[in-house]
Structure 1
Amino acid sequence: MTLYYSLVFALLVAEMGVFMGLILPLPFTVKRKLFMFISESPIVAKLQYGLKITFIFILILFIDSVNRVYRVQLELSSFKEGGAASRAAAIGADRMEVQARKFYSQRNMYLCGFTLFLSLILNRTYIMILEVLRLEDRVKHLEGGKKTGDKDSARLAEAGDPGEIGRLRKELATKERDIETLKKQCEGLSREYHNLGDQVSGKSDEGTKKDL
């Protein structure tokens, strides 16, 4: 197995581990804190962005493996449809080599296909569990639950893709810093304007006194 297919297999094992972690019967409080961390962590947001690029490359590998399986299948069909001479030539090492290429191509196709399919299942499972947590929070709120969990419930209700809230908070902090910088610049310009106004008024008073 080549290096990139070994990485695809490692990613598939990691996806299986994450899926098992999502479906574990954890307590409601622990699960809510876990999902709040996933939704607010900027590290998870960066990881998700990198995984999107990785899945694009895996999709390219999947298409290539499908193409290889199709070509090997055509080659085997040509052996079967040929005459006696073609069948005799196909009995030896050539046929074994074609069968080996067919096996590796099918293995790569299944590996990439299952990795892509499991990524879709993980995304859908995350959304469904998040929706269940929101509904449980709403039920507890309607039943007169503790008010201490209202803040966490509101944060959970705002959660979307993993790391989305963390990314938005980072952008908001950047905007706030820009606004503070603009305020300081405006204050500096206002001081300069007042100083220039005072200088102009002072020169005007001096000129009036000289005329008198």
Structure 2
Amino acid sequence: MTLYYSLVFALLVFEMAVFMSLIIPLPFSWKRKLFTFISESPLVAKLQYGLRITFIFILILFVDSVNRVYRVQVELSMAKQQSGAAAAVAGSERMEVQARKFYSQRNMYLCGFTLFLSLILNRTYVMILDVLRLEEEVKRLKGDKPANDKAQSKLGEAGEMGEIGRLREELKKRDKDIEVLKSQSKGLSDEYQRLGDQFHVSDGTPKKNV
């Protein structure tokens, strides 16, 4: 394996280690501190910038390895079409072509998996940040909501009790008003009866007091 493919393999192992560290279950406070450090550290930002440039070169290697696999496959098909007279020579050439095919496919898979895992890491990192943000929001709402609910329930109960007391006071006042109206109506009725009796007395024979 050449030097640059060895570096690609080392990068693949590093990506696997990072992916395992991302999916390991950690306490919420530890995970929040870790991702806060990753998102705010200038060193990590420079590392990410360097990795983007590295992935561009790995993409070029991946395209080159795909091209090599295609060319080796064409050579292998041509070797199969050789005549039986040159079978011994063709056999050795075929083994060489098979070896080159193996190495080309290995390099293609190595670069392809490295690029694919980089996309998975990026998406996983974004999803974990979203989950942490939502968990913080849920904890904040759960921390404020019970107090608000208790306060609102107390205010509601106090409002209901005050409304009931106010209605009772109004009923008492209306009962008193009704009693006053009854007494006034009775007094008016007695006064009307007295005036009627006086009117009859003034028109006719006055009534004798018993």
Letter paired with 1:123: N
Shift of 1:85: 3.7
Offset from partner CA, 1:160-210 (integer Å, 9 cap, x none): xxxxxxxxxxxxxxxxxxxxxxxxxxxxxxxxxxxxxxxxxxxxxxxxxxx
Contact (CA 8 Å) 1:38, 1:44: kept in 2 or not?
yes
Q: How do 1:144-163 residues align onto structure 2 when only pairs under 5 Å count? A: 144=143
Letter paired with 1:40: E
Matched residue of 2:143: which SS?
A: coil
Partner in structure 2 of residue 32 of structure 1: 32
- Count residues in correspondence: 144
Q: How do 1:49-64 residues align onto structure 2 when only pairs under 5 Å count? A: 49-64=49-64
Matched residue of 2:36: which SS?
A: helix
Cα distance between partner residues in 2 of 1:79 and 1:101: 14
Q: Does 1:108 align with 2:86?
A: no
Letter paired with 1:20: M
Shift of 1:95: 1.5
Contact (CA 8 Å) 1:5, 1:108: kept in 2 or not?
yes
Partner in structure 1 of residue 120 of structure 2: 121
Q: Report the TM-score, using the length of structure 2 for normalisation.
A: 0.66
Partner in structure 2 of residue 80 of structure 1: 80
Shift of 1:86: 5.4
What is the root-mean-square deviation of aligned Cα atoms in Å? Answer: 1.2
Higher mean alpha-carbon deviation, 69-78 vs 80-89, is at: 80-89
Cα distance between partner residues in 2 of 1:85 and 1:62: 38
Q: Does 1:131 align with 2:133?
A: no
Offset from partner CA, 1:113-154 (integer Å, 9 cap, x none): 000000000000001111111110110011116xxxxxxxxx
Cα distance between partner residues in 2 of 1:110 and 1:136: 38
Shift of 1:89: 3.1
Shift of 1:56: 0.3
Letter paired with 2:69: V
Contact (CA 8 Å) 2:82, 2:90: kept in 1 or not?
no
Q: Which has the higher contact order (CA 8 A, sep 6+)?
A: 1
Offset from partner CA, 1:94-122 (integer Å, 9 cap, x none): 11111110111010000000000000000
Structure 2: stretches of 5+ with no match in the other structure? 145-210
Contact (CA 8 Å) 1:79, 1:86: kept in 2 or not?
no
Offset from partner CA, 1:19-60 (integer Å, 9 cap, x none): 000000000000000000000000000000000000000000
Cα distance between partner residues in 1 of 2:114 and 2:62: 10
Consecutive aligned runs of 4 or more in structure 1 exceeding 2 Å deviation: 81-89
Of structures 1 and 2, the larger Rg is shown by 2
Cα distance between partner residues in 2 of 1:59 and 1:43: 24
Shift of 1:84: 2.8
Matched residue of 2:90: which SS?
A: helix
Contact (CA 8 Å) 1:79, 1:87: kept in 2 or not?
no
Partner in structure 2 of residue 95 of structure 1: 94
Contact (CA 8 Å) 1:62, 1:108: kept in 2 or not?
yes
